[in-house]
Chains A and B, each alone.
Chain A
Amino acid sequence: MNHEQATPTAAYQPVNGRLLEVEDLHVEFHTRDGVARAINGVSFTLDAGETLAILGESGSGKSVTAQAIMGILDMPPAKIPAGAIRYCGQDLLTMPEEQRRKTRGPEISMIFQDALSSLNPVFPVGWQIAEMFRMHRGMNKSDAKEQALRLMQRVQIPAAKERINSYPHQFSGGMRQRIMIAMAIALDPAVLIADEPTTALDVTVQAQIMNLLHDLQEERQMGLILITHDLGVVADVADRIAVMYAGRLVEKADILPIYAHPAHPYTKGLLDSIPRLDQKGQTLRAIAGLPPNLLRIPEGCAFNPRCYLAQDVCHRDLPSLREVAPGRWSACHFAEEVLDV
C-alpha cells in the first residue's frame, strides 16, 4: 500500500524492536462505595512481531489494562494515580490528548469482545471501516471504500463486495468479529490489542478467528496483546504469557515453560481447570473461592484466601514479582516449591 509513505510515521520508531513499555501502572475507580483499585502496579513490555497473552479470571483487570493503554477509560470514574505507558519511548499518559488521539488507529488499535455492540448499528460496515481512512488519511469516500473492500476481502468475508453496504446486525457473530478486525488493522497499527476476541463465538469460529489474528500478526509483524481467560485458546498463538490476579501480574513467562511448570499456585490452578485430552475422565479442578473484592483486597498476597500453600507470611507480606528462574517471573513467596512439584 503506497499511501503509507505519504503520512509521516517517523515520529514513532521502536527502540530495538520495543513497541510498548507498561511500567508500574495503577488504575483506580472512584465509585460511590469507595475506591476500587483495579490495577495495582502492572509492568510488562511488548516487542514488534510478538504476541503477549494476558490471562486471568473475570475482574482481574485485563480489560482495564487494555483500556488504559488505549486511552479509552472513562475518567472519571477511572483515575491513573501512577505509572507510565510508553509507546516507542514516548509516554502516552503525559502526551497532549490531540497527539494521543492520533495514535489510536494508526499506531495502536483494539478489538473488542462483543462485535455486535461494538459496531455502530446505524452505519454500514464498509462505511465504518472506510471511516478510518477518511479521518486519519484524509482519503475521499470512494478511495476509502475501495480500501475497506480490500480489507473485508483480506479478513475473508465472503461476497465482500455485495456486503459492504450491509449493517452489523445482518452478519453472523464470526463475520462481525472479522469486520472489527478489518477496522482495527486498517491503518497498519504497530500494536494490536484483542480483548477476548473469541469469547462470544462458538468453538469452531473461535479457532478461525484466532488463526486469522495470528496470520495478520505475522504478516504485518504487529505486536499483539491477546487478552483471554482461557489458557487453551492462546497456547498455539502466544509467545509469552502474563497472568493477572486482582490487578497485579502474578506470573510472567514464555508460553511453553508455563504450561509444563507453572511458578505460581494461581497459574497452576488455571492450568488444572482446562480439559486435556491426555487426562480424559479426570474431573476438572476449578480454583476454589472467588477473586477478592477490589474495595477490600486482602493483606499480603491477594491470592492467599484461595491458595493451598498459604502460610503466615502470605497473610502478612505482599510478594513482589521476581525472577525465580531464567525468564520466569513469579509473585509467590513459595515460587520455587511450586516450580519443583
Chain B
Amino acid sequence: MGTYIVRRLLQMIPVVIGATFIIFVMVFALPGDPLAGKCGERPCPAAYVQKFTEEHNLNDPVPIRYVKYMGAIAKGDFGTTYQGQKVSDELLRRYPITVRLSVIAIVFELVLGVVAGVLAGIRRGKFIDNLVLVSTLVIIAIPTFVIGSVSQTLFGIKLGWVKPTVSSAATWSELMLPGMVLGAISLAYVARLTRTNLVENLRADYVRTAIAKGLTRRRTIGLHTLRNSLIPVVTFVGADFGALLGGAIITERIFNIQGVGGYIVRGITAHDGVAVVGAVTILVLVYLFMNLIVDLLYGVLDPRISHD
C-alpha cells in the first residue's frame, strides 16, 4: 500500500510537467501583445517596456520561461499577472468558493442519486422505476446552461425563494441553487448507475445466500446488495468531484459566482498567461490527487482489488 502510493505520486511528476508545459506553450502562443492598452492610447515608454519584459521574462525562449515559472511555483510563488495582481491572492479568494460549490453539488448528486437509484432498482419495472428513468433522461438531455437559466428565473425571480445571483461572499446558502444545478446531470448518472448495479447485484448468488441465511429483506438489500452496488457509484462520484474542483464555467457565469472557472476563462480572454497557467497547475494537481484518492478508496471498498 505504502509503495503503491509512492509509485503513484512519482507517476504524477511527468503528468504534471507534461500537462502544465502544454498549457504554458498554448497560452503563450496565443497572439496578442501583453502591453496593449497598458499605457492608454500611446505606446509605453521604453523604460517601462524593458522593466515589464524583464519581470515577465518575455525575452527568454518559451522552455526557459517555463522552467523559471515552474521553479517559482515550486517555491509557492504563482507569479503576478500583467495587471499586477498576485495570482496566489486571487486563487486563495476563489478556490474556497469553488470548493463550496463542488461540495454542494456532490452531496446533492450522491444522496439524491443513490436514493432515486435504489427506489428504482428495488421496484424494477414499476411506476417509480419508469419515473426515475424518464426524468434522469430528461435531465441528461438538457444542457446545464438551460437548467441553470430556467431555475434561476423560476426560483430566483418568479418565486423569489433565493437570490438570483451570488454575492462576492458566496455563502453556503447562496450557493445552494447553483450547486444543485451543477450536480443535476451527474445526479442523473448516479441514479442510473445505482439502479443498474443494484438490479444486477440483486441477481447475484450471494444475495440468494443472504436470503437463505434468514436475513430480512431490508438487510439483504440495504447492506449485502447495496454495499456491492455502490462501489462503482462511489468511484464515479469521486472522479466527478475532481472534475468539479476544476471550476464550473457555465454555472459560475449564470449565477455570477467568483470561482476558479471564471478566472481561467477571464485569463484566457485577457491573454493573461500567468493567471491561466497558475490556476491550471493547481487544478491538475487537485485532479490527480482526487484520482489517487478514488483509486485508494476503490481498494478499501472492494477487497478484491489489491494495491500491492
Contact = CB atoms under 8 A, between A and B. Distances in A.
A122 B301 contact: yes
Contact of A122 (B208, B214, B228): B228
A104 B219 CA distance: 14
B206 interface: yes
Contacts of B206: 117-121
Given A112-B205, A167-B304, A169-B303, A101 B212 contact: no
Interface in A103-119: 103-106, 109-110, 112, 114, 117-119
A102 B210 contact: no
A103 B212 contact: no
A120 B228 CA distance: 9
Q: How many residues of B sit at the interface, in one of the four size bands?
A: 20 to 34
A109 B206 CA distance: 14
Contact of A112 (B209, B224, B301, B303): B209
B204 interface: yes
B213 interface: yes
A71 B214 CA distance: 10
Interface string B214-234: 111001000010011001000
B209 A132 contact: no
B205 to A, nearest CB: 4
Contact of A121 (B214, B216, B219, B228): B228
A276 interface: no
Interface string B288-308: 000000000000011110000
A131 B215 contact: yes
Contacts of A102: 214
Given A117-B205, A118-B208, A136 B214 contact: yes
The 3 closest A-B pairs by CB, nearest first: A104-B214, A105-B214, A117-B205
Interface in A33-73: 70-72
B211 interface: yes
A90 to B, nearest CB: 16
A131 B220 CA distance: 12
Contacts of A106: 214
A23 B228 CA distance: 38
Contact of B214 (A103, A119, A123, A167): A103
A120 B204 CA distance: 9
Contacts of B216: 101, 135
Given A117-B204, A117-B206, A101 B214 contact: yes
A222 interface: no
Interface in A95-152: 101-106, 109-110, 112, 114, 117-123, 131-132, 135-136
A72 B212 contact: yes
Most chain-A CB neighbours within 10 Å: which of B214, B219, B302? B214
A95 to B, nearest CB: 13
A109 B212 CA distance: 7
Contacts of A169: 303-304
A120 B214 contact: no
Contacts of A132: 213-214
B213 A183 contact: yes
A118 B304 contact: no
Contacts of B209: 112, 118-120
Contacts of A131: 213, 215
B120 to A, nearest CB: 18
